[in-house]
Amino acid sequence: LVLRIRESGGSLSRILKTVEVSHPTWPDPVLREARARAHFLCFLPSGSWPGGLATRWLMSAVRSFQNLKGTVVQLESRPSKTPGCQLDILVTLDMARTGLLQLLRSLRQSGALAGVTLLSENKVDAKEAWFPRHARDLDNCNHLMTKYEPELDMNHPGFADKAYRERRKKIAEIAFSYKYGDPIPHIEYNEDEISTWTSVFRTVVDLLPKHACAEYNRVFKMLQDEGIFREGAIPQLKDMSDFLQRHTGFTLRPAAGLLTARDFLASLAFRVFQSTQYVRHPTSPFHTPEPDCIHELLGHMPLLADPSFAQFSQEIGLASLGASDAEIEKLSTVYWFTVEFGLCKEQGVVKAYGAGLLSAYGELLHAVSDKPEHRPFEPASTALQPYQDQEYQPIYYVAESFEDAKEKFRKWVSTMSRPYEVRFNPHTQRVEVLDSV
């Protein structure tokens, strides 16, 4: 797409930032065959434009690419040689062909353009859809959701706390610059952070023997014996990662915040868990709207050291590779009602294994009480159950065991539309694609 636009203000670098956020996604199954890569040429007429109009126009163009599920492959600008135009912008897009037609039409109708020319269009083999094939590729799977960030959300307890936001930024930068193979950076936690950890840790120690599943309690004890779980010190991700690696081969890598479901699930396929490293705001030690390292450490890590649970987590990850957006949504829902809020049965008694319950005692007590509805875990129906993350869940799904949940999950995944199989080769850390064609 070459856009000839006049720019007299605003900043192109902001647009480029927006473009970087767009991420390769897999089209819906019906559109798979009709995916194309296209180059366009557009002209913006001369005339006197108010400052920054070109920037705003391009922002709205980027929004329509995203709305039509297009991926920006390349975006380049140069001073225009056409009289009356300041910039030519070349955009190469991947999108479904039905979307391309719609896009051309809407660009031509947009008053800001004098003309649009489609330079070329190549049908792209649907199998080119990108997903990580090696654990190293997870360096590209760190796209964040802009939800609940202390910088952006007025309801975040850290919104008005400048020092807290600075601290968050510093820890986020560590995650953004982390590359596969780097040692996990050590964080020197401050007094506030450590005392938040200690107060959550105490409630967990009190409640979990009674309400957590046996697998969790078994690993929790090992972590205490090794001195990784204790009052007065937040476990370092490096130590936890080494511990997990010894038990199930899972490793950790630092994440800057809430990742997109696609990126987060993809890492599980490689037995990699992307973990935040910052601590929730000290004014709300027992509740956090976003993941923090206390939730990851107390909620997720113990079960990642359990072989059966580790396998279940990896299989959700493998199922997500190359899945359509609609399928990612379903897998996230299954993840939500199992890994985050799952219950299981032990000799007829309901126990918790979901990380969101094991790291938040309020909801834990609610979940195992007789107030909410308990339903048997059945992936096909669980995947369609709407959920919210603002209040306690009204419904929980109860698994017979991890093995049983895995069996049911495998059967359900086999009904998904992916035209190939994937398998993880632990020797090479590579995902191998077994093509059916």
Q: Closer CB to ligand HBI, residue 44 or residue 321? A: 321
Compose the 227-256 pattern: x for residues touching ligand HBI by CB under 6 A, - for all others.
----------------------------x-
Q: Closer CB to Fe ion, residue 355 or residue 367? A: 355
Place of tokens 């590579």: 430
Q: Closer CB to ligand HBI, residue 70 or residue 291? A: 291
Size of the site for ligand HBI (CB under 6 A): 12
* Residue 265 binding target from Fe ion, ligand HBI, none, CB below 5 to 8 Å by type: ligand HBI
Q: Closer CB to ligand HBI, residue 335 or residue 397? A: 335
**Residues in 322-351 that interact with ligand HBI by CB under 6 A:** 332, 335-336
Closest distance to ligand HBI from the beta carbon of 258 (Å): 5
Closest distance to Fe ion from the beta carbon of 41 (Å): 46
264 near ligand HBI, rule: CB under 6 A = yes
Closest distance to ligand HBI from the beta carbon of 263 (Å): 8
Interface residue with ligand HBI, options 16, 258, 350, 433 (CB under 6 A): 258
Interface residue with ligand HBI, options 259, 279, 297, 367 (CB under 6 A): 259
Contact range with ligand HBI by CB under 6 A, out of 14-22, 46-54, 258-266, 396-404: 258-266
Closest distance to ligand HBI from the beta carbon of 306 (Å): 17
By annotation, the residues acting in catalysis are 295, 300, 340, 359
DSSP strand pairing (373-376 vs 395-399): parallel
274 near ligand HBI, rule: CB under 6 A = yes
Length of the chain in residues, anyone? 437
Q: Closer CB to Fe ion, residue 355 or residue 405? A: 355
* Residue 196 binding target from Fe ion, ligand HBI, none, CB below 5 to 8 Å by type: none
Cβ 320 vs Cβ 424: under 8 Å: no
Q: Closer CB to Fe ion, residue 38 or residue 293? A: 293
174 near ligand HBI, rule: CB under 6 A = no
Residue number with the smallest Cβ distance to Fe ion: 355
377 near ligand HBI, rule: CB under 6 A = no
Contact range with ligand HBI by CB under 6 A, out of 76-84, 187-195, 261-269, 278-286: 261-269
103 near ligand HBI, rule: CB under 6 A = no
Residues of this chain that interact with Fe ion (CB under 5 A) are 355
For residue 193, give every residue at least 6 positions away whose Cβ sits within 8 Å of its Cβ, in sequence order, or none: 234, 279, 282
**Chain centroid, CA 366 distance in Å:** 27
Interface residue with ligand HBI, options 261, 352, 413, 431 (CB under 6 A): 261
Q: Closer CB to ligand HBI, residue 71 or residue 332? A: 332
Residue 267's nearest CA partner among 312, 307, 320 is 320
Q: Closer CB to ligand HBI, residue 159 or residue 387? A: 387
277 near ligand HBI, rule: CB under 6 A = no
What is the C-alpha to C-alpha distance for residues 411 and 228, in angstroms, rounded to an integer?
Answer: 37
Closest distance to Fe ion from the beta carbon of 156 (Å): 17
Closest distance to ligand HBI from the beta carbon of 298 (Å): 13
72 near ligand HBI, rule: CB under 6 A = no
| Token reading at 172 | 């986020």
**Residues in 287-306 that interact with ligand HBI by CB under 6 A:** 291
For residue 248, give every residue at least 6 positions away whose Cβ sits within 8 Å of its Cβ, in sequence order, or none: 271, 304, 305, 306, 307, 310
Residue ranges that bind ligand HBI, judged by CB under 6 A: 255, 258-259, 261, 264-265, 274, 276, 291, 332, 335-336
